[in-house]
Amino acid sequence: MVEQFEVTDGVRIAVHRAGTGRPVLLLHGLFSSAQVNWIKFGHAARLADAGFEAIMPDLRAHGGSEVPQGPDAYPPDVLVSDVLALRDSLRLEPGGFDLAGFSLGARTAVQAVLAGLAPRRLVLGGIGLEGLGEWQRRSAFFIDAIDRFDEIRSADDPAYMAKSFMRTMKIDRAAARLLLLSVQDVPLGELERITMPTLVVCGADDHDNGSAPALAAALPNARYAEIPGTHMSSVTQAEFGEAIAQFLGG
């Protein structure tokens, strides 16, 4: 089932839902979608089978959500504002739901918790400590891929995979550039405020967003789980969904 919700500035966000039971809000990664990160490889179905309702928004300018144009639609941390607006629309009560994110979705989840979102449990996938505190460096890589999109032709170019994924996902590059600029660094000293049980899960060969074990160590109540894969492949592995379901069901 897919529904549309308006957030604070009137942008319509597509929200996919599967299963019944305790809600778990799932936030996908950059240039991806709920379909690709959560549905296609069976993670939403795994959670539904475990007794959860998977609630999966397509982030602003992604998937089936609207793609607003112009810088006014991308104020600082607009994704966090969208998540908080969806919490209100979905009537998710403090402690009455769980929260999980992958990559950009994971750092958005961290920022949302720091902004007042109160899940019972938290899962951070495909993210490390440096990916939270040094976002501007990571963002610059993708902005370069956008700016050089038509020049990137060789697989030897470090930005080739990012270009290929943007093309596959039919990303509006102008909107994506504005969105990237809206994302702010997380003050690492604030991580001590994230006290709910947290799982940091990352591919064994995923170093794109820094050290996941270091992130788990920096959080007051977290543990680290390693699964197979790189940043791009780990989210496709059955082990990813199983790790989430086992942790949330514990």
Q: Is residue 145 part of a domain?
A: no
Q: Is residue 166 part of a domain?
A: no
Task: For 31-184, list the strands marked E by DSSP.
Answer: 52-57, 98-102, 122-125
pLDDT of residue 199: 98
pLDDT single digits (tens) 103-138: 999 999 999 999 999 999 999 999 999 999 988 888
pLDDT single digits (tens) 171-183: 999 999 999 999 9
CATH number, domain of 215, equals: 3.40.50.1820
Q: Is residue 54 part of a domain?
A: yes
Six-digit token string for 203: 């591919």
Q: Is residue 165 part of a domain?
A: no
Q: Is residue 90 part of a domain?
A: yes
pTM over 0.95, yes/no: yes
What is the span of the domain harbouring residue 45? 2-130+186-248
Using an 8 Å Cβ cutoff, are 124 and 29 in contact? no
Q: Mean pLDDT in runs of 10 for the chain (250 residues)?
A: 92 97 97 98 97 98 96 97 97 97 97 98 97 89 96 93 95 97 94 98 96 97 98 96 95
CA 30 vs CA 27, 54, 98, 250: distances in Å: 10, 19, 21, 29
Q: Is residue 149 part of a domain?
A: no
Q: For tokens 């891929």, what's the residue?
A: 145
Number of structural domains in the chain: 1
Q: Is residue 101 part of a domain?
A: yes
Any idea what DSSP says for residue 39?
I
Q: Is residue 121 part of a domain?
A: yes
